[in-house]
Amino acid sequence: MRITRETLLKLAQEAVAERVRANRGIVTAYVAGSVLTQEPLLGGTTDIDLFLIHDSRPPYEREIVRLSPEVHLDIVHHSQALYHQPRHLRTDLWLGSTLYFNPILLHDTQHWFEFTQSSVRSLFWQADNVMRRSRPLAEKARQTWMRLQTGERGPVEGFSLYLAALEAAADAIASLTGAPLSERRFLIDFSARAQAVEQAGLGVGLAGLLGQANIDVDTVRGWIPAWRAAFLEAGNQIETPVDRQPLRLGYYERAIEALLSSDAPQTALWPLLNTWVHSLTLLADGSEHLNAWEMACAALGFAGKDFQDRLAGLDAYLDSIEETLDRWGAANGVEASAA
């Protein structure tokens, strides 16, 4: 099937029409995410981020629906009550950004969405609102780093926290000029966001903290079978989140392969490592999948004393993030205490 942006929007419209016929409690439906861009595909795959707003509490929060090997629906279900104070959503990086950045409306009743979106957009870029979205993420990153300084932690938990700190730090910078970063394009998009605030070095630093200097494309490509096996086994666990279901394997794998074949193969490290360690957190201690991951971590410089060196580098990196926010706030008339 030839997949275009128009094809994806038609699939979304058909899905909404089907669900509205079955459930008259759906007040609004809109599309966000990569479908809004001119290049929604990565590795020939994509998801359609569909938001369904209900007039009461929905039975579940999220579902993944396979449409083809290349495309699936990622449907988020919200209660209308979540949007009752739209001015507060201005400081919610994820939901506020989803509403602000031109989602495509597919279904609405009584112009409810139009009113809500206009309220969110009003003063969205006011400097103190920007800092209220950004500063908590930098604080979260620092708190996560501090957690890594105390207590005994296994390598999987430690690395998971390490990536969580990096993600929060990167989103703190990304939120100064746009929406939060997506998982598959994380390093690609962060580089542009760092440049947008005249801090290109932050993009280089983030890649370095993931082991970019040690990357060998053929070696990384050789890790994919072990990564795939862990992903599939973790996907069958009872507690697995819906977005890590086995049907999402191709969505990640083909993106990783495409990035490894690109002019910037180091950008494949984020989706590979983030999904890999997440899979391992769902598997039992001593899992047979642990050995291959530990070998990959050693190759990237995350084993033993090397990991302590990485934590020191993360500490310095978070200092740079915090200083960047301080300078941005001062340049835009926002005192640190006000943020």
pLDDT at 39 > cutoff 80: yes
Query: pTM for the complete prediction?
Result: 0.95
pLDDT at 45 > cutoff 80: yes
Domain extent listing, the chain: 5-121, 127-322
pLDDT at 29 > cutoff 90: yes
Residues 6+ apart with CB under 8 A from 286: none
The CATH class of 5-121 is: alpha beta
pLDDT over 70, % of the chain: 99
Closest by CA position to 266, among listed 212, 203, 202: 212
What does the H/E/C string look like for 94-125? HHHHHHHCCCEEEEECCCHHHHHHHHHHCCCC
Hey, is 39 helix, strand or coil? Answer: coil
Hey, is 46 helix, strand or coil? Answer: strand
Measured CA to CA, the distance from residue 30 to residue 32 in angstroms comes to: 7
Write down the pLDDT at residue 331.
96
Task: Centre a 10 Å sphere on the Cβ of residue 174 and count the other Cβ atoms it contains.
Answer: 24
Measured CA to CA, the distance from residue 203 to residue 187 in angstroms comes to: 8
